[in-house]
Structure 1
Amino acid sequence: MMGIMQISPKTAERLVRDLSYPTYEVDGNSKLIYKPFVNVYLGAAHLKWLSNFEQIERSEEFMVRAYKGGTKKATHKSTLKYWHNYLSVKETLPTRTVFEVAPVPNALSASATAVSTRKRTNPAKITWDSRTSPEDMEEMWNNANVSKEWNKSGEKRGKVRLSHDTEKRPYLSRTEQRAVAEIILAKHFSTSVVKPTVLCAIADVVSMRFVNGVGQRTGLMGIDYPTARDLGYKGYIVKSLEDLTTPFVSMYFGAANVAWLSEYEGRERSPQFVVEAYISGPQNVNLQETCPRWLKFEEALK
């Protein structure tokens, strides 16, 4: 394997000769493969070919594992670790800026202002009350488990602190997360089959309960602005990306997304379909392939 994209001379020659990628000629001169532009070009060409291998639209997992071990080992255990490593690296990539995510002009300016303000705010001073409506805070205090936890830690009405990790990132305790899920479902999805345990497990997988989200996933439930807008649910109004870092708002749209996916295209869907579709999109679900995040979900559900 050669170069930063680890392309073999045999693969390079096949791409150029047989698959009509002639921008860079490498036939007979394998040293050209080491050139960065040539190498990345061939790597991209190979991925494009894998994406439609045998005229079948392939999943991201198939492409990555086939890139490593060849198409015959795309589902073999020998490439599974490579896929896990790929996911780990992917999740550490920098978050896209708000300007790329929110397409509505007013939302853009509002989000930009909110992000700018957040950077100037001491993270340790972010409270539940600053991220939650008075009505929802009252519901939280009325929850027996939450009030017990808050009273034990010395919280006062109007000044309830959020928990923070060693990097000062705010997160929800499991008790708080469960309460938010139960309140949202009781108020807005009382006729739905969505369960609070499912929402909590999804939150564990996509955000690790961090209020602002992780990586490219926004908020507790990892819901982005376009998804929240397109779902068409009006229980909470989202004017900017910043609104989706509010626990109740994020949980609401997460529940809405789960409810929608549960009957995707008019069919009752399995829990595995719903979870994988929630994380990767319904068009990318392949229930015959291993999904590490489904395994993580099952672990979180226990």
Structure 2
Amino acid sequence: MAASFYYWNDCVDFQDMEAMWREPEVSTEWLHAGETKGSKVHLSRDPDGEPYLTQTEMKAVADIIVRRHFDSQMHPDMICAIAELESDRQPLSTKLYGKKTKETALGIMQILPKTAEWLVRDLGYRAYEVEGNPENLYRPFVSVYFGAAYLKWLSNFEEKVRSEEFIVRAYNGGPIKATHKSTLSYWKRYLSVKESLPSRWFVGPSVNIACSSTAPAVPATQNTGVDYIYWDSKASPEDMQQMWSHSEVAKEWTKSGEKRGKVRFSHDGNKRPYLSRIEIKAVADIIRSKHFSTRGVKPSVLCALAEMVSMRFVNGAGPRTGLMGIDYSTAFWLYMELGYRAYRVDSVDDMTKPFVSMYFGAAYLAWLSEYEGRERTPQFVVPAYLSGPKNVNHQETGPLWLKFEQALSCYEDIKRDPGNCTIL
């Protein structure tokens, strides 16, 4: 093996190195370890002397690659968990595949050179060069880029939206073995590893369930160097007009210096866009009044559920997509089978639009309220929304209900009627 890395600078180009230094958790870790910006940064080494990425470094590489090349449509935790399973985060890891072909997978994501070349040649993934130089797959950013590209391809294998389980098992054994018993243990290990990853979501006062403030943690008028995402790119002109017509929203936006046609989302300290509580209340009010007034879906309940599943992040939190945590396949089912067609759903990106996510979240909530043809109690509907209707067990899901009540208290006073929280 010709590749040999002692420093980050040996396996990362200048642009990627600068991106790593811009990640707050990475720069903090490196500075605490005695590294200095402008000098070479040491790679960590295991007892055998093999270099590896710390979990902080691995998270940063995955975050950067996803933001830069995949429009945040893929969750970095999937990449991190797979890297853990495939290589223990060792960039120089190799693995022999196939007794006859004797092909060798390389790098953190254990990519076969022929797979990388196929991704370049047939699918157009050309951000990094690998043709004629497969050893580039030992470089962390290159390996993660092609690993993410392969995961992206698997997510729509044979033009069908695939589940996380299918994607992960197919990554391990190929699409043919995605449902074979041989990949089941890999899936179980993946779930265990992913659950143990350091949390990346519960940070900053703006995303705490405690109802301490409705103000943005990073005011939109501050010059923070954030590349802002705009409301106007995530909502229709009609919905934006409705937001401007909402007195509390107009007051908040005007105070923050926002202009019609170019309204910025608030961003937290890690540059992630989120809704203020005033904004999320307004979205819930509008969706309810326009589309669910006869169903009686309560805006405060929608807000509380959003608080729990996404912490009000536009792109969602953890494995859940968007504000209400509704995935594309569920939204498409609600659209096609149940006739909820006020908003189109053409791709997973649509689920990161606040009004779209709120609409299908309300639709799913309405469906759960009459699950299997029976009128359901709030104590069933809330855990069913959060963990699936077939997984509701009042003893085991009781903590979910208590967390929901805590979140709900941010949006309405439930002390006046203890023990009775009406949803519909």
- TM-score bracket, shorter-length normalisation: 0.5 to 0.7
What 5-or-longer segments of structure 2 have no aligned partner? 1-74, 80-147, 163-224, 410-424
2:78 aligned with 1:94, yes or no? Answer: yes
2:286 to 176, 183, 187: 183
Instruction: Give the equivalent residue in structure 2 for 1:289.
Output: 396
- Code of the residue aligned with 2:346 in structure 1: it is K
Q: Secondary structure at the match of 2:78?
A: coil
Q: Which has the higher contact order (CA 8 A, sep 6+)?
A: 1
1:253 to 356, 360, 369: 360
Instruction: Give the equivalent residue in structure 1 for 2:315.
Output: 212
Residue 210 of structure 1 deviates from its aligned partner by: 0.1
In structure 2, do the counterparts of structure 1 residues 137 and 265 end up closer, same or farther at CA, with 3 Å as the change threshold?
same
CA distance, structure 2, for counterparts of residue 92 and residue 295 of structure 1: 29
Of 269-278 and 236-245, deviating more is: 269-278
Q: Secondary structure at the match of 1:218?
A: coil
Residue 99 of structure 1 deviates from its aligned partner by: 5.0
2:380 to 249, 273, 286: 273
In structure 2, do the counterparts of structure 1 residues 135 and 299 end up closer, same or farther at CA, with 3 Å as the change threshold?
same
- Code of the residue aligned with 1:299 in structure 2: it is Q
In structure 2, do the counterparts of structure 1 residues 292 and 98 end up closer, same or farther at CA, with 3 Å as the change threshold?
farther
User: Any conservation in 2 of the 1:102–1:241 contact (CA below 8 Å)?
Assistant: no
2:348 to 220, 231, 241: 241
Between the aligned residues of both structures, percent identity stands at 63
User: Any conservation in 2 of the 1:211–1:219 contact (CA below 8 Å)?
Assistant: yes
1:131 to 208, 218, 234: 234
Post-superposition Cα deviations, 1:85-132, rounded to whole Å, max 9, x if no partner, equal: xxxxxx994379555556783879xxxxxxxxxxxxx96321000111
In structure 2, do the counterparts of structure 1 residues 250 and 152 end up closer, same or farther at CA, with 3 Å as the change threshold?
same
User: Any conservation in 1 of the 2:309–2:320 contact (CA below 8 Å)?
Assistant: yes
Of 216-225 and 264-273, deviating more is: 264-273
Runs of 4+ residues deviating >3 angstroms: 91-104
CA distance, structure 1, for counterparts of residue 226 and residue 310 of structure 2: 17
In structure 2, do the counterparts of structure 1 residues 260 and 138 end up closer, same or farther at CA, with 3 Å as the change threshold?
same
User: Any conservation in 1 of the 2:155–2:161 contact (CA below 8 Å)?
Assistant: no
Instruction: Give the equivalent residue in structure 2 for 1:20.
Output: none
In structure 2, do the counterparts of structure 1 residues 102 and 285 end up closer, same or farther at CA, with 3 Å as the change threshold?
farther
Q: Secondary structure at the match of 1:283?
A: helix
User: Any conservation in 2 of the 1:171–1:210 contact (CA below 8 Å)?
Assistant: yes
- Code of the residue aligned with 2:266 in structure 1: it is S
User: Any conservation in 1 of the 2:369–2:376 contact (CA below 8 Å)?
Assistant: yes
CA distance, structure 1, for counterparts of residue 319 and residue 342 of structure 2: 24
More helix by share: 1
In structure 2, do the counterparts of structure 1 residues 242 and 99 end up closer, same or farther at CA, with 3 Å as the change threshold?
farther
What 5-or-longer segments of structure 1 have no aligned partner? 1-90, 109-121
CA distance, structure 2, for counterparts of residue 238 and residue 173 of structure 1: 25
Instruction: Give the equivalent residue in structure 2 for 1:225.
Output: 328
Give the TM-score taking structure 2 as reference length: 0.44
> Residues 56-67 of structure 1: matches in 2 within 5 Å?
none
Instruction: Give the equivalent residue in structure 2 for 1:148.
Output: 251
CA distance, structure 2, for counterparts of residue 102 and residue 260 of structure 1: 27
Post-superposition Cα deviations, 1:226-259, rounded to whole Å, max 9, x if no partner, equal: 1001113111000000000000000000000000
Of 284-293 and 182-191, deviating more is: 284-293
CA distance, structure 1, for counterparts of residue 361 and residue 157 of structure 2: 20
In structure 2, do the counterparts of structure 1 residues 178 and 150 end up closer, same or farther at CA, with 3 Å as the change threshold?
same
Q: Secondary structure at the match of 1:94?
A: helix
User: Aligned Cα RMSD in Å?
Assistant: 2.4
User: Any conservation in 2 of the 1:224–1:241 contact (CA below 8 Å)?
Assistant: yes
Instruction: Give the equivalent residue in structure 1 for 2:201.
Output: none
CA distance, structure 2, for counterparts of residue 222 and residue 123 of structure 1: 25
User: Any conservation in 2 of the 1:209–1:220 contact (CA below 8 Å)?
Assistant: yes
CA distance, structure 2, for counterparts of residue 103 and residue 285 of structure 1: 31
- Code of the residue aligned with 1:192 in structure 2: it is R
Give the TM-score taking structure 1 as reference length: 0.61
CA distance, structure 1, for counterparts of residue 318 and residue 392 of structure 2: 21
